[in-house]
Structure 1
Amino acid sequence: CHSTRIAHTERWEAEEDIHLTSGMLCVDCHRNGLDHNMTRSYPGEPQAENNLIAASFSCEGCHLPNDAHEVPVAGRAGAPIPKHAGIPTLHFERMTCTACHSGPWPTAQTQAVKTSLAHALGTHTVNRSESALPHIAAPVFVREDNGKIAPHKMFWPAFWARVEGDTVAPIAPAEVAALADTLFYGIDSTRAGDWFTFEENQIAEMLRRLTAADSSKRTAAYIAGGKLYRLNKAGKLTQEKHAAAAPYSWAMGHDVRPASQSLGIRGCGDCHSFNAPVYFSQLKVDSPMAADRESTYKTMTDFADLSGFYARFFALTFLLRPLLKWLMIFVSVILSAVLLWHGLHGLGSLMKAAERLEENSNG
């Protein structure tokens, strides 16, 4: 149910979660009683509010000691305690553990992934094409409601709908198919399971048919590529941004990479370089619309509520930091020499004053 595979790679090229390769089982952290109310092991989980054992199943609960507990519960199964040497604590306030430790290593473009539930991995007669729908991308760094940035899986919705006020109600595919006739006729000769390409004139015609078939005369619409398409009063196709067209995302906790493959292991440059994927990895806006196929991309800053300009400007400071260190050493040497010179000069003055005082006392 919970497996994930990176598309366009062979199975043997993938690494398992570090907990599994260390001999642990899923149920070592995700436990349940007779009620089958399984612990999900994330910070702030309701089950963990008054249960120290449940709280210890999260990343922090297992790997970070908590002196506030009457009984020590951290370090379950010999979990190592990270040192996080040289990492400012601000990172732990604004990022989740999974941001640095989970999912595929961030690259210039997000990677296409398949999941067991979405793509029926491991079952017979399933379409194993790498481009089979739905197109799920990961990792996408999204700012969560608690203000922390976490890696997510994400995909772009595409569906027909009826709009009434602010309410967008999806239309059943069977209803659309009955009205479409041969409007979207196409042959998937390779059986790739990918999108058919839609043109704007096809969308406009389908919207007219849906409007005519609806006795309530609600506005027919099409959601795709982060936009809502509908006809204006003149019967022309328009497009607009709409909350219903926003991509769907959900936080990912696995697969956890070993500490030697965590972000920051090679230094600040893993995240704070000029084109660091944590900020600037590109996510293609997935859509059956021909106009959106090649040219529409988003970056991580769009989903993490960050400034791309600030991220790049801040990254430039890391290029100057080695020079700044040498400058500080040079200035420190100069200051030390100045202090030494004044110290010796002052010591000489004290010695002369002492000699004069001794001469006066003897005279």
Structure 2
Amino acid sequence: MPDGTEDGTDRRLPTDEARALLALVRDIARREIAPRAAEEEAAGQFPRELFALLSRTGLLGLPYDPAYGGGGQPYEVYLQVLEELAAARLTVGLGVSVHTLACHALASSGTGEQRAAHLPAMLTGGLLGAYCLSEPSAGSDAAALRTRAVRDGDAWVLDGTKAWITHGGVADFLTVMARTGGPGPRGISAFLVPGDAPGLTAAPPERKMGMSGSPTAQLHFDGVRVPDARRLGAEGQGFTLALAALDAGRLGIAACAVGLARAALDLAVAHARERHQFGRPVADFQGLRFLLADMATQIEAGRALYLEAARLRDEGRPYGRAAAMAKLFCSDAAMRVTTDAVQVLGGYGYTADFPAERYLREAKMLQIVEGTNQIQRVVIARHLVGPESR
């Protein structure tokens, strides 16, 4: 491992079990994920079989209750697993984070019967989830969503469109926020919807500047019937569940951002050692050495932020502000680090023959998902000075 991240690969972990888990993840990343990443991303190929492997090895349910097939790991460990996966391929790391997000409402607020019926298959049974909150007219203002769920006997009928759904069209189950009451956040409820429910269709995947291997699509609900037994939490509790899931999901994005930045730094360090100009390695030049030092510092600072937020969560303490800070800093750092990696590689960094340009395109997405970084600043400011006076 290049010097740029060798300290990061020996991070302190709370237990021997956690150290063995991270070693397993690194082995899977090295053998199964990284060798195929560039080719499959260029082809827009979603690695569905990899997620089946991750499910069999228990990596899709790490932070959840072992009684339902989860790994029982603290977020401090789970997030470091995400970092390793994202360093090998962001599509995989982000996909695990989204799947974990999709399981959150059921795991945190489902009844015992609901958890027993659905969680084992979601955590270790090979299923893959999607999280359905955003809509074409409700992105940052998620409480303005229009998808409706109308009660019909012992079922609900869902109609509407969800947008920007990671795993849209390939997910086996969806956690869907829909309006069951009046306007505003108190009229929203959460539902667990099968991915093959009649009346549910997916639009063609979005054509994105990066993350081509991760399908993002609109989902259309046309009279989709969902039994009331699949409503998660109380009526009107959906938006609260959504925000709780997003706090946890923002930590996942932060960890993925650090992993992506690490991959970019590793590439830049290797190139600086191997590339010779004026009769010596370009790593000898002070200007480039300072650039690499700044890149490494941003990665370490980002990891410290997301781990501190994770520890707050693991201790049962409020962590929403810390999660927003981690997501904001880590994704901005990933954008800076990947931009600098392209600069270190020079002309090579601008070509598709090297992964630097892919890392740069992927980093931009991290500043947008799970709440744009402008929204993160709003969240942080509200914790500091209270809500806006209006």
Higher normalized helix content (fraction of residues) = 2
With normalisation by structure 1, the TM-score equals: 0.30
**Structure of greater Rg:** 1
